[in-house]
Amino acid sequence: MNKLTIDKVKLQGKRVLMRVDFNVPLKDGVVTDDTRIRSALPSIKKVIDEGGKLILMSHLGRPKGEVKPELSLKPAAERLSDLLGKYVAIAPDCIGSETSEMVSKLNNGDVLLLENLRYHLAETKNDEAFSKELASFADVYINDAFGTAHRAHASTAGVTQFIDICAAGYLMTAELESLGRLLHGAEKPYVAILGGAKVSDKIEVINNLLGTVNNILIGGGMAYTFLKTQNHAIGNSLLEEDKIDVAQAALEKAGDGTKVKINLPVDHVVATGIDAESCTTTSGAEIAGSLVGVDVGPKTIEEYVEIIKNAKTIFWNGPMGVFENPAFSKGTLAIAQAVAEATDAGAFSVVGGGDSVSALNKSGLSDKISHVSTGGGASLEFMTGKILPGVDVLNNA
């Protein structure tokens, strides 16, 4: 990674504006999952320990330019206070004279969290005046919110036009280094495991990885569109009819001298619907009548696990089925276990995407993976080979 990092920046006495991702779930005004807040702690503690004056900014939910009290970042400030063991002030807004005054009164080591950026439409529009006002609070800008780095918003891109020193935080650095390792010089055998509902969400990743990986293991709803291209019966399973040609082109490209095998399910767990309480298993790749594919079958699990076991590099994004229903979670949990065991045997593994990470958390295997990405959409865009706006604007090292 050739971007300036937080370790290379003088922070003492500086006003440090840090973009974090505190878009956390709330219930009754309390943070119910503080994973994203915890992920930002190393960078936050670095600024505090170095004697910087820390101004944090984040969005929460989609208020779409309206002040919605239920989307206030106050619960995040309270949770951060608990984690740090010190008071974290919350500003009444992310801009304005009152907020500016609070910034001016910060002492070295103090922490101030600005109110929800998306209370202003100017944030997502990357408005210049809004960006300039945010930037006026700071001497140094740190982006530690990889999950928003694929958006050219005021807090991720616009502010950098008005601050000379713009660097990556620890979380951002870890994401870029880990994902970058998947795209450049990955040790082989290299296996990509891609699931989820839609081919359209993953096709650019598939096409970009065809020249890099040895195997692509397909699961989830997107598998049925691929199977349809091979004239398999898929019952009432999820199908993107307008993506059949795209899936076919990927299969043809994989078989056209790239030495990459795209593996599709050879059997399925099927049910009458995704909310059904019971299910059956097919003997092969065909799904009869009005049944719906809800998970990969035991033969597929066995085949995929064997491939994963021999891998030296693994990228996993997307579940194998409707894993939220315990009856349809076996495939996803088996993949999680296989990736963890391969990692323990020496493979380098990266898992991204909310559902895949949830499956890891559910199985208690998160700490068995080399890197668990917080990126979601950002990690997918990075894996297509695109330059992320929030990364591109940071100073080069």
Q: Is 354 a catalytic residue?
A: yes
Among 291, 297, 296, smallest CA distance to 236 is for: 291
Contacts of 107 (CB under 8 A, 6+ apart): 53
Cα 180 to Cα 159, 183, 251, distances in angstroms = 25, 5, 25
Which residues are paired to 140 by β-bridges?
16, 165
Locate all alpha helices (DSSP H) within the chain, ordered by sequence.
Answer: 35-39, 41-50, 74-84, 97-104, 121-124, 128-135, 170-183, 199-209, 222-229, 244-254, 298-309, 330-344, 354-363, 377-383, 389-392
List the catalytic residue out of 61, 65, 109, 377.
377
Q: Is 261 a catalytic residue?
A: no
* Residue found under tokens 């009856």: 327
List the catalytic residue out of 45, 68, 198, 261.
198
Q: Is 235 a catalytic residue?
A: no
Q: Is 36 a catalytic residue?
A: yes
List the catalytic residue out of 68, 74, 354, 386.
354
List the catalytic residue out of 36, 118, 243, 330.
36
Cα 357 to Cα 39, 243, 336, 354, 372, distances in angstroms = 14, 26, 9, 5, 7
DSSP letter string, 199-236? HHHHHHHHHHHTTT-SEEEE-STHHHHHHHHTT--BTT
Among 278, 289, 200, smallest CA distance to 245 is for: 200
Asked if 114 and 94 count as a contact pair (C-beta separation under 8 A), the reply is yes
Known catalytic residues are: 36, 198, 354, 377
